Amino acid sequence: MWDICEPGLAEFRANGWKLVVVSEPSERRSRPAENAGVVDPGPNPTGWVRLLSCRDGLVGASARIRLPDVELPPLSEVFVRGDEIHFLFPATATCPIGMELVLLGIEADENHLLVESTISINTSLLDSSPQVELRVGGGHPGKPNWDNTPWSVLANLADVHWWAASSRQPGLGPAVMTQLCCDRRDLHSLDQRGSATDRGLCFFGDFLEKGVIRRIRPWWLWSNQRVARDVAERVSLALRDRPLPLGS
């Protein structure tokens, strides 16, 4: 069940797992000082959306969804529709590339939590080439380091590709492991120009026409250990057979 705790922060709890989703402000733009003679530009742009997965007895794991070199618009709305939660970042004059994030809990047991994410981007620009980057943080999950936890290729099952990233650090104890899978409908959008071993997984990056919506639907699996092959095969078949998401 989703619970909107405060603007820009929501939680999902199921069978001992907790997923915290938070919209984090941009680090690149600061508000003008008071009495500086500058008009207040309004809410700060968004830097990224962070996903923090936790379970008792395990150090949590942080992941983020962002658009590299792009400030997202301020979060305008968070709402629950059925079993889904929606985060809306509509394009503005100062932040012309918008995003919508929809999250849906698929299943949870004592060993893993499986969540579907649908990420949609659009632009009001005539010439732009935005990417979507998915990255896992290392170190303390509350203050992750985003530069030292690469993805590794895990498997290719039923035309579904799997990646894994472990944020476990010495001295912090057992940690949640993060796994991600995409089917062939999203793989054609995967940017092959770089390696996920030295950056996050990146999608898109070619010309995005004004008014066009691009969408990917990766599934996240957080677990207490590397996902078992039989579970990965079952999840792969479920993802492959799931209908494409419709527009909101």
Question: 13-43 pLDDT, tens per residue?
Answer: 999 999 999 999 987 654 444 444 444 446 7
Residue 35 makes CB contacts below 8 A (sequence gap 6+) with: none
Q: Beta strand 2-6 with 9-14: parallel, antiparallel or unpaired? A: antiparallel
Residue 166 lies in a domain: yes
Residue 155 makes CB contacts below 8 A (sequence gap 6+) with: 161, 162, 229, 232
Residue 246 lies in a domain: no
CATH number (domain holding residue 67)? 2.70.98
Q: How many domains does the chain have?
A: 1
Residue 15 lies in a domain: yes
Residue 39 lies in a domain: no
What pLDDT is stored for residue 195 in this prediction? 54
SS3 label, residue 186:
helix
> Measuring CA to CA, which residue among 120, 86, 79 is closest to residue 208?
120
SS3 label, residue 39:
coil
- Per residue in 34-80, pLDDT tens? 444 444 446 789 999 999 999 998 999 999 999 999 999 999 999 99
Q: Are 47 and 32 in contact (CB under 8 A)?
A: no
Q: Which whole-number Å values give the CA distances from 102 to 31, 35, 90, in the listed order?
A: 29, 40, 14
Q: Are 89 and 72 in contact (CB under 8 A)?
A: yes
Residue 155 lies in a domain: yes
Residue 115 lies in a domain: yes
Confidence of residue 142 (pLDDT cuts 50, 70, 90): confident
For residue 97, the enclosing domain spans 2-27+44-240
Cα 115 from Cα 240, distance rounded (Å):
15
Residue 248 lies in a domain: no
